[in-house]
Amino acid sequence: MKNNNGNMREKINLKLYAVTDRRMHPDIPVKDQVEMAIRGGATIVQYREKELTGDKLYEEAGSVKEVCDRYNIPFIINDDANLALKIGASGVHLGQNDMDPRDARMLLGNDMIIGVTARTKEQAVTAEKNGADYLGSGAVFGSSTKSDAVYMEKAVLTSICESVNIPVVAIGGINSGNITELKGIPVAGYAVVGGIFGNDDIEEGTRRLREIIDNMDNSYGDREQ
């Protein structure tokens, strides 16, 4: 599939970063869930469905990409740079044990987005040096979707934000009931799984969360791309 989004690195908006998890609404196609989240105010989507492989993974990722393209929303593939390239996604998000971002950049070229998970200042600085466009840091409230998630104190998140010149996205158990506890931390956005896709009404739940974010003082300010 062709990437019709041009250089997505120039217009990435990380404010409300939706991360898919089919387990929360197994009766609703993931592409439909994503469309509901976008209508509710999600600004970027990461496809993270580790239970699928092969053709099923490729086909579903492609169907979600089509929805994101229709709304001009960046579409990120979790972990798999080769899949991101194959379907023409906007980019890839890499964990510390995934492909080196320098290798991902060589594979994906200069136009695609590369995000990297960073849980320490050292990891953050290294990821920026190696070409990451943004960082994902947490888990700020623990996590119900990742068994290996380690709680991150807010002071650590703040120090990561202050150690780099690229945007940082907070992740981990964020929902409409606790997100205001992150007010004042200079993040560029919030990556949310259950707080979006765990709602009975995904669109309305996302809209409520987006309204809270819009009303928060985001000291990342004009640095947001």
- List of residues 6+ apart from 224 with CB closer than 8 A: 13, 14, 15, 167, 188, 189, 218
The pLDDT value given to residue 222: 41
Percent of the chain at pLDDT > 90 equals: 85
- Residue 50 pLDDT greater than 70, yes or no: yes
- Average pLDDT on 209-224 reads 73
Nearest to 206 by CA among 101, 108, 71: 71
Instruction: List, in order, residues 6 or more apart from 3 with CB less than 8 Å away.
Output: 88, 89, 90, 111, 112
Residue 224, pLDDT > 90, answer no
> 67: closest CA among 103, 20, 10?
20
Angle made by CA atoms 64, 46, 27, in degrees to the nearest 5: 55
| Residue 134, helix vs strand vs coil | strand
Q: Model confidence over 51-104: pLDDT tens digits?
A: 899 999 999 999 999 999 999 999 999 999 999 999 999 999 999 999 999 999
pLDDT band (50, 70, 90) for residue 217? low
pLDDT tens sequence across 174-198: 999 999 999 999 999 999 999 999 9
Question: pLDDT for 97-135, tens place per residue?
Answer: 999 999 999 999 999 999 999 999 999 999 999 999 999
Query: What residues have CB less than 8 Å from 24, skipping those under 6 apart?
Result: 194, 197, 198
Which of 223 and 146 is assigned the larger pLDDT? 146
Span 146-165, pLDDT tens digits: 666 778 999 999 999 999 99
Q: How far apart are CA 134 and CA 189, in angstroms?
A: 10
Domain ranges of the chain: 8-217
Fold annotation for 8-217: TIM Barrel (3.20.20)
pLDDT at position 219 over 60: no
Is the backbone peptide bond immediately before 191 cis, with ω within 30 degrees of 0? no
Phi/psi at 69 (nearest 5 deg)? -60, -40
Distance CA 45, CA 190 (A): 11
Cβ proximity of 52 and 39 under 8 Å:
no
Q: Is the pLDDT of residue 1 over 50?
A: no
- Is residue 156 classed as helix, strand or coil in its secondary structure? helix
Contacts of 65 (CB under 8 A, 6+ apart): 1, 47, 75, 87, 88, 89
